[in-house]
Structure 1
C-alpha cells in the first residue's frame, strides 16, 4: 500500500496501529463513522493525489492543516469555499467504495471493512470526485467496469495495443479489467497476470514505478505458478519487476532480480541473445548504483563487447557506451580510487 500510494512507511505503520485499536472497540465503531474518533491522528486521513476536485473553481483540492490544526481538503488561492473536514470526506468516499467495489479493499483482521483503507484504494475504481459546499455533496465518477457484455480479453488486448502510444488510456482500460482484483491476495489467473504485467509496464512508462511493483509482483508469481519460472511471460514480468525496483531505488532487490533474470535468459535464450545481454547491462548499472564501481564497469564493458559482436549495429550498444561513460565520469567526480582501473 505504501509503495502504490507513494506514502512513508511510518504512515502505514500508524494505520496498522489504528486498526488494532479499532479491533478493541469494534462494536462502538460500527455505530458511527469509523474515522470520527476523538483520538484519530488527522494525518492518517488520505486520498490518492488528484482524486478530489472542487465543483466551484474546477481545481484539484489538497489536504492542508487549517488554523485549528485540523486536516481539511482545500482549494488553491482564489476559491471562496471553506475547507472540507478530511475525516468526513474520506469516510464518505471510502464507504462508497465499500458499496461499489468491496473486493478491491485489502482485508485486515483488525478491521475487515475499513473506510480508510477503501478510500486509499479509491483511485482504482474512481477517476474523479467533485465536491460541492458540504462533505455530503460529492459527485463520484466511476471508472468503466468490465461486464459480461465486453470480454475482459478485449480490454486487455486493446490496452496492449495502446500501451506505447497512449499509456494513460491503456491504464484506464487495465484498471477496469482488474477492478475486482487485489494483487496481494488474488489467485493465479493467466488473464489477470497478463493484464497486471501490462499495467505495471504502463505505470512505469507514466512515471509511477512504485505503483507498478505490486502488479509486477503478482504477474511474476502468477506466471511462475501457471507456466514455470523459465516461461516467456514469467520472464517478461520478472524484467518489469526488476525495472520497477531499480527505478524506485530498491537497488539490492533489483540486483537479485536482474541476476535471476540473466541466469534464466542465458539458459532459455542463450548467453549471446539480445535480451540476455540487455538484462546483463542493467545488472551492471545496478551494481554501480550499489557502489561496486569496478565490477560494474568490467561487467558492462564485457557485455558491450559481446553485444557488438553478436548484434552489430544494434542501438542498444550505443546506450551501453553511454552508461559506461557515465560510470567513469561518476567515479572521476567522486574521486574513487580503483587499483584495477589501469
Structure 2
C-alpha cells in the first residue's frame, strides 16, 4: 500500500529510523512512543515500519542470496548493535545504523569521514559470533534463537565495551569488559561503583556491567545484590545520557525491591525514582506521570507530606503534567509545592530550581499563546 501523499518521505524515513533506534535501546513500545512523539496514529507508523522491513528483506535477499539467510529470519531493522558500541578507527566517532539508497541497513560515520559504509548484517554477524565463542552464557536461553549470532549481538553490550571498525567488516577490534572473577566478590564491584557513580560514572558503568554480565533484567529472579547494582547502573546511565538503556535496569531494580522489601522500602522508592526519571527523559510522559504520582504518594506516607523528597517528587510530577499539556494544573501544583517547600525547608536551593521550572512553564505558555483559565 503506498504511503499517503501528505506525508513526505523524509518524515517517513525519520519515523522508521527513530522506531528502530528505540528498539535497539531496549524499548519494546517503540512504535507507540514514536507515534505519540510525532502526533501520528500508531497504525500509520506501524505501516511505515513494516514497509521498510519488507523492502529491506527483499533487497537483502536479492543482493546477498542465500548465504546470509539466518535460522531466526530476523527483522533487518533489528540487525543492529547496542547504541554507542561501534566506533570508526579513522575518525574516532561513533557509527550509527542507517538505511542506504538501496534500502540496505548499513553502519555509517558522521559527516566528514571518508570511509565507506559497512553492511550491518555482516558487522553484526561477526560480533555475534565472537560473543558466542567467548561469552555464550550472557545470551538468555529463553529467547527463540539463543545460538543465533544476531541474538548474541543484541546482548554484546553486556560483555563488550567497544568495537572499533577498520576498513572492512572483518577488521574489527573488540574491547571486552573486565570479568568479575571469584577472587573479587561481586559486592565489592558494586560498592566501588557506588563510590564512583558521581565522580567517574563511566568507570562505574564498566564495573556494574561486569557485575551484572550474567544477569538478564527481563527474566532474572529478585536478588538484593543484583537489584542494588541495577539501580545504581540505572542512575549512572541517566547521568551519562542514556535514559533508554536505564529503563530496563531500573525496572528490574524496582520489581525486585518490591518483591524483597515491599513497595514502601527506601531502596524500592529509590529505584522507582530512577525509573520515573528515565521514562521522563526518554519522553514517555504518561508512564512517567503515573510513576511520579505513585512515588509522591509513597513518600508522603513514609517520609511525610512536607519531606524534601516528597515535595521534590511533586515538583517532578508538575513538570510531567506540563509536558502532557495540562498547563494550568501543572502551574498550580508546582506553585503550591514551592510554597510548602519554602515553609518546610527555608533557604534550600531546590526551591529556586522549582521557581525556575515555574517561570519556564509561564514562558512556554506565553510563547505558544495558550489561553488557559486562571488557576484559582
TM over 0.5: yes
Conserved? CA contact 1:106–1:117, under 8 Å: no
SS across alignment from 1:22: helix
Q: 1:3 to 1:177 in 2, by over 3 A?
A: farther
Q: 1:56 to 1:322 in 2, by over 3 A?
A: closer
Shift of 1:302: 1.1
In structure 1, the gaps of 5 or more residues are: none
Shift of 1:104: 3.0
Q: 1:287 to 1:41 in 2, by over 3 A?
A: closer
Quick one: distance in 2 between partners of 1:11 and 1:111? 30
Shift of 1:121: 2.1
* 1:12 partnered with 2:42: no
Shift of 1:330: 1.7
Higher-RCO chain (CA-CA 8 Å, sequence separation at least 6): 1
Deviations 1:156-195 (A, max 9, x none): 1111111111111111111111111111111101111001
Deviations 1:122-146 (A, max 9, x none): 1221122234555444332210011
Match for 1:259 among 293, 305, 315?
A: 293
Deviations 1:200-246 (A, max 9, x none): 00111111111111000000000000000010000000011011111
Q: 1:109 to 1:73 in 2, by over 3 A?
A: closer
Q: 1:81 to 1:322 in 2, by over 3 A?
A: closer
Conserved? CA contact 2:59–2:104, under 8 Å: no
Residue 26 of structure 2 corresponds to none
Residue 22 of structure 1 corresponds to 55
Q: 1:253 to 1:71 in 2, by over 3 A?
A: closer
Quick one: distance in 2 between partners of 1:98 and 1:263? 46
Shift of 1:2: 14
Quick one: distance in 1 between partners of 2:61 and 2:186? 41
Shift of 1:61: 4.6
Q: 1:188 to 1:86 in 2, by over 3 A?
A: same
Quick one: distance in 2 between partners of 1:130 and 1:238? 36
SS across alignment from 2:374: helix
CA-atom RMSD in angstroms:
5.1
- TM-score of the superposed pair, with normalisation by structure 2: 0.76
Conserved? CA contact 1:156–1:174, under 8 Å: yes
Residue 73 of structure 1 corresponds to 107
Deviations 1:43-77 (A, max 9, x none): 44212344334556766555466676644445678
